[in-house]
Amino acid sequence: MGFCMDKGNSTIESRLSANGKTLLEKRYLLRDAEGKVAEEPGELFARVAKTIARVDSRYGYDVEKTEDDFYQVMADLEFLPNSPTLMNAGTELGQLSACFVLPVEDSLKSIFKSLQDMSLIHQSGGGTGFSFSNLRPKGDIVGSTNGVASGPLSFMTIFDKATDVIKQGGRRRGANMGVLRVDHPDIIEFIRAKEDEELLRNFNLSVGVTDEFMEAVSQDRDYALINPRTGKIEKRLKAKDVFDRIVTCACRTGDPGLLFLDEINRRHPLSTIGTIESTNPCGEVPLLPYESCNLGSINLAQMVKEGAIDWEKLKQTVHTGVHFLDNVIDANKYPLPQIGQRTKQNRKIGLGVMGFAAMLARLGIPYDCREGIATAEKVMKFTQDESVQKSVELGEQRGSFPNFHRSALARDYPAMRNATVNTVAPTGSLSIIANTTSGIEPMFALTYRRNVMGTRLTEIDPVFEEIARKHGFYSSQLMEEIAGTGSLQTSPNIPEQTRRIFATALEIQPRWHVRMQAAFQKHVDNAVAKTVNLPHEATVEDFREVYMLAYRLKCKGIAAYRYGSKAEQVLEIGNAGDKKAGSTGTVKACTKNGCE
């Protein structure tokens, strides 16, 4: 390779934050037979670059140049692939994808086959999504035994327990998405499933809603619950009452979110091949059964030069990222043969972004304003256009994905290597390594604690510290003042424009969170993972407005979280367990008992 390992590693070490180094050592760096760390961060990136670049030999490319390019974007923390690629590339396991969706059909054989498949995927470091909508409802007849069906929730608890046992690859916490259509007869039980915090701890839950249901909510009409076994109507419910239960439970427990199934399938380029019913665990990749998708994220904070976006650098990074992720499909060792087959038929990738809030701060633009939204659209449209251009180029050079001529893309392009190219993922761990803000989220707080698989990391926003030092208002006293709240809003000596730029997630009005998600979704062919973080005193009405706005703005899904609504949460402000640290007033409606 065209770099010196010792020098390269020294440079990388200087770029990594203390938390980034801690996370790499705990979860990513290879270990020897005695469990001791056996590689440096530079060696990790070299291992990944070498493994992924080797694919280019199949297509007559300059492998050494590709290896250099891949290494450099990772070493400079400008682009990082999803965690399984960092962990497993160049190892015997070799499973490189993060996202999988598995089918669950209405038979005991299918259910437990999916359970077995899930276990293998989790063991290899992937996360799984399921729709349980095809299972007959609780109390329905079981013809083979003349017994009574126990319903989707009973089987979901088995999947949940299995996930507890099989921690993903030993280094990732097991994660699942569970989806139930809103017209399933067991929908009320599903909506209320997280009232007991001990149940389904390894699942995110989303109600799969249709346009028909959302219109019935708006018009205060009833709608039909349909038995998936018979196709017959079981009963009718008022749509508004069901929607009220959804938002009340979401406010109280953090679940369920919504998946807008009709919008997802309207925009799916392979709608003639199958119907999408579920997504990966965080909702950013809607997939057909047995599809997988490998993700990577560009660090937008690194795409700013002298107070402006460096468009040429962003273009080159996008092209490198698409090339990298397409290679991953060929380098991957798939956990199941049918996953490998379907993934190679469609060759979906998900190139996304992280560090967007940090980019805005460096540009001097507040998150919650029209200029912030306009910047989001401009950046993501550019990213999408360049991603498509690179995929077309790869398609012409290497061949289009096998199902290209069955896709909607064949109407508009002469070739296309990948059925989808863009995603916005949460980038929880990747953003720690890259020392930037997560995905497209606003800054959660200027100082906060993050819980990562038993490790508590205290974080200070690096861009805030950078700007505070640059403009001369950084002091240890200031950092102590904001340590308890994570906010600048009570610091009168800070310029008002600076306070606007560094408004945090809980201080931003919910509608701006949703508008930002929708701005990115306009230029993303997969989906956007975003959480609308709300203060502790948020109400059911706040959740109702968030969910309805997401539908009106054509998001593909929505998730919202009220600070402190779970006993354990990933991000915390102030003293551990202090729910009021995320509060600006008196707690209201969400705290009543039950999701009635």
What are the angstrom distances between the C-alpha of 316 and each of 3, 4, 69, 248, 353?
Answer: 20, 23, 10, 46, 14
* Cis, peptide link before residue 256, omega less than 30° from 0: yes
Return the number of other C-beta atoms located less than 10 Å from residue 586's C-beta: 7
CB distance 372 to 360 below 8 Å? yes
End-to-end CA distance of the chain: 62
Q: Is 282 a catalytic residue?
A: yes
How long, in residues, is the chain? 596
Q: Return d(Cα 466, Cα 233) in angstroms, integer.
A: 60
Q: Return d(Cα 68, Cα 53) in angstroms, integer.
A: 9
Find the catalytic residue in 40, 78, 263, 284: 284
Q: Is 280 a catalytic residue?
A: yes
Find the catalytic residue in 249, 282, 590, 595: 282
C-beta contacts of 505-510 below 8 A and 24+ residues apart: 505/441, 505/442, 505/443, 505/444, 505/445, 505/533, 506/445, 506/533, 506/534, 506/535, 506/563, 506/582, 506/584, 507/584, 508/367, 508/368, 508/442, 509/368, 510/534, 510/538, 510/542, 510/545, 510/546, 510/560
CB distance 295 to 428 below 8 Å? no
206's enclosing H/E stretch is: strand 203-209
Secondary structure of 45-94 in HEC code, one letter for each residue: HHHHHHHHHHHHHHHCCCHHHHHHHHHHHHHCCCEEECHHHHHHCCCCCC
Residue 372 — φ and ψ, nearest 5°? -65, -45
| C-alpha dihedral sign at 429, 443, 564, 519 | negative
Look up residue 321 and give its two tokens: 């990222």
Find the catalytic residue in 280, 299, 526, 533: 280
Return the number of other C-beta atoms located less than 10 Å from residue 143's C-beta: 8
Residues acting as catalytic residues = 280, 282, 284
